[in-house]
Structure 1
Amino acid sequence: MFFGTYTPKLDEKGRLFLPAKFRDQLTEGLVVTRGQERCLTVWSLGDFAKLTDRLADAPVTNKGTRDYVRMLFAAASQEVPDKQGRINIPAPLREYASLRKECVVIGSMNRVEIWDPAAWATYSEEQEQKFSEISDEVFPGI
């Protein structure tokens, strides 16, 4: 499980130091790809395989399924952290998420998200009030 907020930097070669608390779960490899709201999503290989299995069961006759699969997989990059815990973030993905040097890396249950700091600040601020409002939707009856 991934949780917490961290602020690593991209180096001059476009590599990101994974937070130390995330490294053990990702040492075998990972997939980084587009996420929603213009962030990047990092999946362990196992969780990406589970996602792939679910998508394989979705009907390809559905345009939404085709569109989602194309966008997710066209941008996906399989990476293995180096001995220092760095992963390469390919240039098209850095561009998609507007990543320069500073980054915000958050744990999001079974995945990691990488955000541009300004985008994360805006998103987080917008969602703060909704967080309490949607708790009944997410956990009805609790």
Structure 2
Amino acid sequence: MFLGTHTPRLDDKGRLALPARFRPDLEGGLVICKGQDRCLYVFPVAEFTRVTESLRSAPVTDRRVREYSRVLFASASQESPDGQGRITVPPTLREYAGLSKECAVIGANTRIEVWDAVAWNDYLQAAEPGFSDIAEEVLPGVL
């Protein structure tokens, strides 16, 4: 489970240092791809495999499944963190997420999300006011 918000910098070579507490779960490799809301998703390989299996069982006759699968898999890049826990974010993914030097790396349960720091702060300011209002709809009877 990935938790918390971290603020690493993207270096001139497009490398991003992953938070130390995330690294043990990513030692076997990871997949980075386009996510929703103009962020990037980073999955441990095992979790990406689970997502792949779910999509494999979805009906390819559904146009939405085909479109989602195409965008997801075409954008995906399998990476391995280097000895310092850095991953290289491909240029097309940096452009998609509008990444500048300042990034926000957030734990999002079974995945990590990478945001441009300004975009993350803007998103958070817009989303936080509704957070308590939607809790009952998202997690009925849990919280």
Specify the TM-score bucket, using the shorter chain as the normaliser.
over 0.9
The CA distance in 1 between the partners of 2:63 and 2:79, in whole Å, is 29
The CA distance in 1 between the partners of 2:37 and 2:30, in whole Å, is 21
- Code of the residue aligned with 1:104 in structure 2: it is A
Structure 2: segments with no counterpart, 5+ residues: none
What does residue range 1-142 of structure 1 map to in structure 2 within 5 Å? 1-142=1-142
Count of paired positions: 142
- Identity across matched positions, percent: 55
The CA distance in 2 between the partners of 1:140 and 1:13, in whole Å, is 45
- 3-state SS of paired residue (1:140): coil
CA RMSD, 1 decimal: 0.6
1:23 shift after superposition: 0.4
Give the 4+ runs in structure 1 shifted more than 6 A: none
The CA distance in 1 between the partners of 2:29 and 2:54, in whole Å, is 20
1:141 shift after superposition: 2.5
What is the TM-score normalised by the length of structure 1? 0.98
1:139 shift after superposition: 1.5
1:3-31 CA deviation, whole Å, 9 max, x = no partner?
A: 00000011111000000010000011000
